[in-house]
Amino acid sequence: MTGEARRQELSENLRAVRERLTAACLKAGRDPTEITLIAVTKTYPATDVVDLASLGVLDVGENRDQEASGKAAEVALAGPDVRWHFVGQLQRNKCRSVVSYAEMVHSVDGVRLAGALDEAASRRRQRPLDVLVQVNLDGDAARGGAVVGSTDVDRDLDRVLAAVAGSDSLVARGLMTVAPLGWDPDRAFVMFAELAQRVRREYPDASVLSAGMSGDVESAINHGATHVRMGTSLLGNRPKLM
Ligand SMILES: *Cc1c(COP(=O)(O)O)cnc(C)c1O
Average pLDDT of the segment spanning 196-204: 97
Cα torsion angle, 47, 52, 56, 62, sign: negative
Angle subtended by helix axes 3-28 and 46-54, to nearest 10: 60
Taking the centre of ligand 1 as the mean of its atom positions, its distance from the CA of residue 230, in whole angstroms, is 6
Ligand 1: which of 107, 229, 240 to mutate, judged by most atoms within 8 Å of the beta carbon? Answer: 229
Is 0.95 topped by the overall pTM? yes
pLDDT one-digit tens code per residue, 188-199? 999 999 999 999
Ligand 1: which of 41, 63, 227 to mutate, judged by most atoms within 8 Å of the beta carbon? Answer: 63
Ligand 1: which of 67, 132, 213, 235 to mutate, judged by most atoms within 8 Å of the beta carbon? Answer: 213
Closest C-alpha residue for ligand 1 atom 7:
214
Ligand 1 atom with the smallest distance to the CA of 106 is 13
Which residue in 85, 99, 89, 6 sits closest to 44, CA to CA? 6
Taking the centre of ligand 1 as the mean of its atom positions, its distance from the CA of residue 176, in whole angstroms, is 12
Task: Say if strands 170-177 and 227-230 run parallel, antiparallel, or are unpaired.
Answer: unpaired
The DSSP symbol for 78 reads H
CA distance 44 to 71: 9
Taking CA atoms, 121 is separated from 124, 156, 174, in Å, by 5, 22, 18
Closest C-alpha residue for ligand 1 atom 10:
229
Return the pLDDT at 165: 97
Confidence of residue 239 (pLDDT cuts 50, 70, 90): confident
Ligand 1 atom with the smallest distance to the CA of 214 is 9
Protein residues whose CB sits closer than 6 Å to any atom of ligand 1? 40, 42, 63, 87-88, 178, 213-215, 229-233
pLDDT one-digit tens code per residue, 132-164? 999 999 988 778 999 999 999 999 999 999 999
